[in-house]
Structure 1
Amino acid sequence: MIRTGSTLRPGGNLGYSLTCPTIQWLLLDVSVRNGVVTVRISRWRLGLTLGALLVAVGLAAPAVTTAAPTAAAQGGTVLRVALTKQVDSVNPFLSITQAGTELGRLMYEFLTTYDAKDQHPVPALAEKWETSQDKLTWTYTIRSGVRWSDGQPLTAKDVAFTFNLMLTNDVARTANGNFVANFDSVSAPDDRTVVIRTKTPQATMLALDVPIVPEHVWSKVTDIAGYTNDTTPVVGNGPFVLTEYRANESIRFKANKDYWRGAPHYDELDFVIYKNADAATQALIKGEVDLINRLGPGQYDSLKNAANVTLNPAKGRRFNELLFNPGAATSTGVPIGDGNPALRDVKVRQALAKAFNLKDIVSKVAGGYAEPGGGLIPPVFVSYHWQPDASQARSFDPAAANRELDAAGYPRGAGGIRQGPDGKPLTLRLLGHNGTAFDEQTAPYIKQWLSDVGVDVTVQLVSDSQVNEITSGGKYDLAFSGWGANPDPDYILSLHTCSQRPNADGKGGTTDSFLCDPQYDALYTQQLAEFDQAKRAELVKQAQQRFYDLAVGVVLDYDNSLEAYRKDRFADFQVQPDPGGVIMAQNGYWGYYSARPVAGAASSGGGNAGPVIGIAAGAVVVLAVLAFLFARRRRATSAERE
């Protein structure tokens, strides 16, 4: 028996010429899209063919039945989104990557969220709030009538449970621990009231980016670190419900019909996994996906004349950086990893930073769709962005880099490679993400620029998960990294505080650079307690300058978030901020939630309606040929991808 909608890995059109006249006569269409084989068969021709076959072999005609229609066949609509980055986890307490946190936003609501237009805090689960005069006690009123996707009511007790879990469990603080580090207590005196008391005033109390989870599910979890949270359907309270999760294979959501804001305008949201943006771009052109972001400049430019494609050159809210390992250590100061000891010297790091030509990265790597880097907060967030002035900036100056490396005790030796005080060549490992265009294209420039100042570099491009594992263990010298900033600057700044380094077991914390500097920590603490917007912005800028001066990382550029979508399938995507912002936002669900199918657009993605045919012995002779072709293609594409 052959069933329409049989699953194969990977996807792509079959690409075979079916020369058998009988098969050609039977088939209307055969394709593989998103890992699903779609077989469209002419029913009346099939009936004639089967009849002839059965007569030939002396068999009675078999029954022909039609499978139950899928959501797509019934008129349901699926938004298919290309995903080229690995998801680290769908456990909201562990996920720190862009892809993982983006999925979390779809599954779980926060107390407040960011307005899509200007990104100021607006109500979400909390419909209103008030604070005491001393700013130490915050009382939130949870909106009534909200339910979890399994039908159970959501109450203030779920909110208190979530925050108290983070307060009492080190691992539960992995992703968003900075938001609760200053909490003194959290309570729910009744089903609609949450009271949070802080140790000192905390300016982020309306920007607590913490997914609220159901107590009746998570109270049974005994091992947060080992809990994958992928037993579907996952109980959530967001606009979408996770219904299928196979790591690096397929991710599917259904619209939450009971979402408190109202159900999304389509039925299913599928994330289709691609190894790189080139493959995803081709899929968009072919109509195999509807929305894509993180395009490289070449891919983006290639879509300018593509039929039915709309481009969105969104303002960059991300930055790309190059990290120097300054001497990785745990939160208690115990050294870990195997970073090159030369990088513990701030003078060496500052000298190396002068070897990088950021303007070349913008023009040659980003194709002009970026701005040169500076501080940790991208320029789209005008109030908090810091850029060094002429007296502070480390401009591209190889001559100065050479002089400073000489002065730091690293003279050139044989072959022009510098040597350290121990007489060993100064050789550094450069770690990056395989399949990420920025890392792959920038790595040769970094290698050449450092070679020009006498430093040997070995490039290591590995998977996203390997990069996370290696950097978390401090087993690198140089590493590409990057983050998407929130409208509130606290989270990005917190990544460089002493408390965000891992514990002795290598768990907890979300340190980006292993920086531990008392002056930086003091500035971070001060900005967190400052409610005057202008004064807080000044402290945030001072913290960025301190990070810049210590040179534990170099912000290379702020890249535009280049996106594209099929205008023949979907329209009315809300961007954030508006105008000029992104559709696929790490710090909001507005783009996905607002999407509206184009009137009259063909349904797609949820499955393929068609006949499920019971075939007696004689019919197998014909349809086995199709099975052979399918199997042959599967082996071929698997080998190609390996």
Structure 2
Amino acid sequence: MLKNILNFQWQRWQTLLLVCAIAVGIGSCRAIVPSSSAQTTNQLVSAILSDPKTFNAALSNESPNIFGYVGEGLITEDGKGEIQPALAESWVVSPDKKSITFTLKQNLKWSDGAPLTIDDVAFTFNEVFFNEEIPTDTRDVLKIGKDRKLPVIKKIDANRIEFTTPEPFAPFLRTLGISILPAHKLRPTVVQKDNKGKPLFLSTWGINTKPADLVSNGMFMLDSYTPGERLVFKKNPYYWRKDAQGKQQPYIDRAVWQIVESTDTALVQFRSGGLDSYGVSPDFFSLLKKEEQKGGYKIYNGGPATGTTFMSFNLNEGEREGKPLVDPIKSRWFNNIKFRQAIAYGINRQRMINNIYRGLGAPQDSPISVPSPYYLSREQGLPFYDYSPQKAKALFTEAGFKYNEQNKLIDDRDNPVRFTLITNSGNKIREALGTQIKQDLALIGIEVDFTPVAFSLLIDRIDNSLEWDSLLIGFTGGAEPNDGANFWSVDGGSHIFNLKPAKGKTQLTDRRVADWEKKIDDLYIQAAQELNEEKRRQLYGESQKVTQDNLPCIYLVNALSLSAIKNRVKGIDYSPINGPFWNLPSLTISAE
């Protein structure tokens, strides 16, 4: 569920931090190798906060994941967010805007030397991503219109394939960066069933798979994986990309992802020379800036970052096997719009910016990324909730709450207002945000039990048990809002604040969907259908207003996009949309 869902550009050259963006991603990690190794070999050493969950691209629903390194789709994006050819050599859009015909590059191969053909493209979509027996969130992104129909994909000849949509779909081309899968390796696992009648595909290419058994079409292949320590990628000898002189790319022989438990450890390793990159958090910006020249690195500032950080309440009123997912007392609070608005007024976001982000940020009011052309600002009419304990208390009163003799907030049945807030441990910024939320809400009479938990436990609660009160989380974003449609679709696999369980899991009774939820879903569908850019902006603008009026998510701070990269990495063309490594095939490592 938590995939970069909220970016959905799988072919970017860095790990996207989606779905679910809960981990800090490429910018942080421990070096298991000696610090000198990054300086003496032709490799790029980066970092992640947790182990990957699968090596199967169709089943991946969170980051970190390996598919930006080992996978490739028909198209990709450059540093400006412009669509560029990848496996496709070219494409033609029909006059009615309902069909796109792709011509595949010649002589493409998989990492095992087998030909990569049109049949692999057809297999990937028709037999995997469109297969209802395979629970992949990617399918939600490809569904079109109110009827949620999938495109029709037809092989024209050995080099061409046609994608036809039931109606015009403005973001369709951008959705086709999905990693193409090898039919010669995976088709048997789709056809064959296990003893429960499920496709063997569902248990194929898990993290226990030997790297030698994985087949790649990206610039790298997975060479080794040591759980809790590192992943090592080696260059794919059959990768298609070559430079103007005909030399195969990437120029870097190996990429290493170290796995660590915290951003603090990552900072130590970056400063000692064990990492080539570090996602600069605001609390360490001043320190790293002072050491920039001596440390042999440069801090790149891309301006407002894509993505969001937010607090959300569990609005799911459903029951599983007769048991409510959320305590009914708390559920009454959470599903009261005035309660959520009061909480928003009770959070001092400017204090977060000053103290936690060291002034390197601004209030975030929208689910759409600030750099997106569809972002609606306050000046353009976006509702916002600047800190006001007085407004918070007034809204609580309007909603039927009151204060007792101890100045604690209680509901109309005299229940004290107390709930649990969870986030992923190891992310120091999130931990600091959660601590401040606890302090801020205490000032308006609310007791918050703030509990950072392991990443795997957080995902399990959000995706499987569905049992949580409130959470603090972050999603990546980008220029195209439809990349987040899976979050706003009422039946989407990433609709975390009111999630419908995936097919094959125990379903719910009495799950309710609010009218405003349906409204946002409809607006995203309408905006995707609309080919006129001005009208698309208006529709997305309305969706942002509905979101801010109803606050399924309380957005917090928009940070700056900051990365420190060692000077030995040559060719960095920093992108606020796609980060420092979007042009990884062109990067080189110097001997200095």
Q: Mark yes or no: TM-score above 0.5.
A: yes
Amino acid at match of 1:144: Q
| Residue of 184, 202, 205 corresponding to 2:172 | 205
Q: Which residue number in structure 1 is paired with residue 13 of structure 2?
A: none
How much has 1:474 moved relative to structure 2? 2.6
| Residue of 576, 580, 585 corresponding to 1:583 | 580
| Residue of 254, 263, 267 corresponding to 1:268 | 254
SS in 2 for 1:574: coil
Q: Which residue number in structure 2 is paired with residue 115 of structure 1?
A: 78
1-side partners of 2:524 and 2:435: how far apart? 35
Q: Deviations over 1:613-638 (max 9, x none)?
A: xxxxxxxxxxxxxxxxxxxxxxxxxx
Q: Does 1:388 align with 2:367?
A: no
Matches within 5 A, 1:284-299: 284-293=270-279, 295-299=280-284
Q: Which residue number in structure 2 is paired with residue 252 of structure 1?
A: 232
Q: Does 1:559 align with 2:525?
A: no
Q: Deviations over 1:426-460 (max 9, x none)?
A: 11110111111121111121112211222211011
How much has 1:172 moved relative to structure 2? 4.1
Q: Report if the CA contact (8 A) 2:142-2:151 is conserved.
A: no
Distance 1:418 1:272, change over 3 A: same
Q: Which residue number in structure 1 is paired with residue 422 of structure 2?
A: 431
SS in 2 for 1:519: helix
Matches within 5 A, 1:56-95: 77-95=42-60
SS in 2 for 1:560: strand
| Residue of 266, 271, 274 corresponding to 1:280 | 266
Distance 1:376 1:527, change over 3 A: same
Amino acid at match of 1:133: P
| Residue of 215, 218, 221 corresponding to 2:186 | 218
Q: Does 1:312 align with 2:300?
A: yes
SS in 2 for 1:582: coil
2-side partners of 1:458 and 1:301: how far apart? 32
SS in 2 for 1:93: helix
SS in 2 for 1:109: coil
| Residue of 135, 138, 146 corresponding to 2:97 | 135
Distance 1:426 1:330, change over 3 A: closer
Distance 1:141 1:91, change over 3 A: same
Q: Does 1:596 align with 2:588?
A: yes
Q: Does 1:354 align with 2:345?
A: yes
Q: Deviations over 1:375-427 (max 9, x none)?
A: 1122122x111223478322211111101111211212252222223332111
SS in 1 for 2:111: coil
Matches within 5 A, 1:124-203: 124-164=86-126, 165-169=128-132, 171-175=134-138, 177-180=140-143, 181-203=148-170
2-side partners of 1:521 and 1:35: how far apart? 45
2-side partners of 1:493 and 1:558: how far apart? 20
2-side partners of 1:539 and 1:202: how far apart? 14
How much has 1:292 moved relative to structure 2? 2.0
How much has 1:150 moved relative to structure 2? 0.8
Q: Deviations over 1:488-537 (max 9, x none)?
A: 211223312112133364499xxxx9987221111011011111222212
2-side partners of 1:520 and 1:404: how far apart? 24
Amino acid at match of 1:424: N
Q: Which residue number in structure 2 is paired with residue 375 of structure 1?
A: 366
Q: Which residue number in structure 2 is paired with residue 618 of structure 1?
A: none
How much has 1:96 moved relative to structure 2? 3.1
Per mean C-alpha deviation after superposition, the further-off stretch among 151-160 and 186-195 is 186-195
Distance 1:527 1:343, change over 3 A: same
Q: Which residue number in structure 2 is paired with residue 485 of structure 1?
A: 477
Q: Deviations over 1:318-345 (max 9, x none)?
A: 22111121225599xx974557211011
Q: Report if the CA contact (8 A) 1:127-1:143 is conserved.
A: yes
2-side partners of 1:373 and 1:506: how far apart? 35
Distance 1:132 1:407, change over 3 A: same
Q: Report if the CA contact (8 A) 1:573-1:596 is conserved.
A: no
| Structure 2 unaligned spans of 5+ | 1-29, 190-198, 243-248, 493-499
Distance 1:329 1:192, change over 3 A: farther
Q: Which residue number in structure 2 is paired with residue 616 of structure 1?
A: none
How much has 1:317 moved relative to structure 2? 1.2
Normalised by the size of structure 2, how large is the TM-score? 0.81
Per mean C-alpha deviation after superposition, the further-off stretch among 156-165 and 298-307 is 298-307
Q: Is the radius of gyration larger for structure 1 or structure 2?
A: 1
1-side partners of 2:34 and 2:349: how far apart? 46
